[in-house]
Structure 1
Amino acid sequence: MKTIALCFYAIYRPAFYLLVIIDTTLLGLLTIAASYFDPKGNRVHYIGKFWSRLNMLLSGVRVKMIHPEHIDPKRSYIVMSKHQSHYDVWALIGFLPLQLRWVMKMELREIPVFGLGCERMGHIYIDRSHPDRAYKSLEVAGEKIRSGASVVFFPEGTRSTDGNLRPFKKGGFNIALAAGVPILPITVRGSRQVLPKGSGKIMPGTIELVIHEPVLLDGYTTENREELIQRVHQIIEADLKL
């Protein structure tokens, strides 16, 4: 029975990609139009949430949240998440009860409709090839936090190919320390099985979002930043299942 289901999914997969292109284009255009009446992106954010949940549904992927009580929807956070798959983005946007703004690589801005839609939604592009521009992008992230949004970082910087947690980069921690907001660590499990890095073979499955208790920044400064980085790394790694 499982073999029959997998064969059906292999046949369906090209149709799914076509549906993603269609819904991304339509909802992207809607986001761009609606953003002129919502410059902060607080309402058009829900278009992104619908887009994420729709594509999860279309691909047969479920999301299970573990310890959602650790999130206070009225607070702002720096969200630090494990990154194994493109599906991490859909899972976090679709199911975290927060106004999320993403720090995204500049190359994504070039994707027609999608790139501009994300910009109008309030997501932040960072040009890693130009340190000065990258620093300004991080300053924009701080402004988003002060306006009440939560900003998401994948502190590994890129997707893990083997599921192991890579060393963390410092940018998100610098923003957290400057803004004085808690870090919300999240362990993502199962997304690598749905769509591994470098593969286009999406498979149905379940993604688990393990929400850890927020890490308060009392006692942390740039001088002991490495201790903070290691603490968050250990928290996320502790609940990781390969």
Structure 2
Amino acid sequence: MLHTAKVLFTIIGAAGLKSFKLNEVKRKQQYIEDFHERNRFTQLQPKLWARNILNTAGVKVKVHGDLPYYKEPVLYVANHEGNFDIPVLISTILQPFGFVSKQEVEKIPFLKDWMDLMHCIYIDRKDRRSGVKMLKSAIQNLNDGYSILIFPEGTRSKGEGIQEFKAGALKMAQKAKVNIVPVVIKGTSEIMEKNDHNMIKEGIVQIKMLEPIEPSIFKEQSLQDVTTMVEHKIKNEYEKL
């Protein structure tokens, strides 16, 4: 097993070492005219950072089925099992995306600038107004062509099964009229959360991307019904992995 301090050092250290590239990435962005190519270029460094974390921790990712690349913006909806979910998904999902993160992450050295570049969004769970602001930002990002990843459970399950999805979690997809892509992730809690004192243990994380759900579904079903349906789809596949 590895101590969490070593992985934490890798996370912050890697971000710090790559921080000098931030201005270079921003500068080069300006000369890439194609939106998709510019977006992909922006996330090259975060992908390298995520893969470095997984390699340090001895985490391997097993993908079930295909991982399509969507040129149009989508809302990725995943269950949230552990702290390793984000590096696993950044390293695995082909399409660049930002994600909704708790506000505390803004305080982590070096990470915020990169997360801003990826069009991540922050939310203060204790402040209702923050939720409204997050929703507006998410809709704007989707309308601007940037995909988003959200964890509708709101917090890590730590391997204790999938928790109920929050009501209205998919409202941004409804308002922005984008496809919902359910993503199943299993095994990250075995890497960290289930271990004594959160020690890091090598292991395999499994990923499966489900068929996209078109925004026209909101014409037939309520927001809550769609949220429940996506929750059940992810739960069913999670139990099969």
TM-score bracket for the superposition, by shorter chain length = 0.7 to 0.9
Match of 1:66 in 2: 64
CA RMSD of aligned residues (A): 2.5
User: Could you say which residue in structure 1 is the equivalent of 2:134?
Assistant: 137
1:189 aligns with 2:186: yes
Contact 2:97 2:118 in 1 (8 A): no
Identity %: 24
Match of 1:216 among 207, 214, 217: 214
CA contact (8 A) 1:168 1:233 kept: yes
Deviations 1:54-86 (A, max 9, x none): 1111111111111225x3432321111011111
Task: Report how far residue 178 of structure 1 moved.
Answer: 0.3
Q: Runs of 5+ in structure 1 lacking a partner?
A: 1-8
From 199, 202, 213, the counterpart of 2:200: 202
TM-score by length of 2: 0.85
Equivalent residue runs for 1:51-130 within 5 Å: 51-69=49-67, 71-130=68-127
Of 147, 162, 166 in structure 1, the residue corresponding to residue 163 of structure 2 is 166
- Evaluate the alpha carbon distance shift between residue 227 and residue 15 of structure 1 in structure 2; reply closer, same or farther with a 3 A threshold: closer
Contact 1:177 1:222 in 2 (8 A): no
SS of 1:176's partner is: helix
Which amino acid is 1:46 matched to? L
Please give the secondary structure, in 2, of the residue aligned with 1:187.
Answer: strand
TM-score (structure 1 length as normaliser): 0.85
Q: Does 1:19 align with 2:2?
A: no
Residues 13 and 202 in structure 1, CA contact (< 8 A), matched pair in contact too: yes
Structure 2 distance, partners of 1:222, 1:114, is 41
Residue 142 of structure 1 aligns to which amino acid in structure 2? I
Distance 1:88 1:32, change over 3 A: farther
- Tell me if the contact between 2:168 and 2:227 (Cα under 8 Å) persists in the aligned partners: no
Number of aligned residue pairs: 232
Corresponding position of 1:30 = 21
CA distance, structure 2, for counterparts of residue 13 and residue 229 of structure 1: 34
Equivalent residue for 2:236? 238
Q: Could you say which residue in structure 2 is the equivalent of 1:225? A: 223
Aligned equivalents of 1:141, 1:197: Cα separation in 2: 32
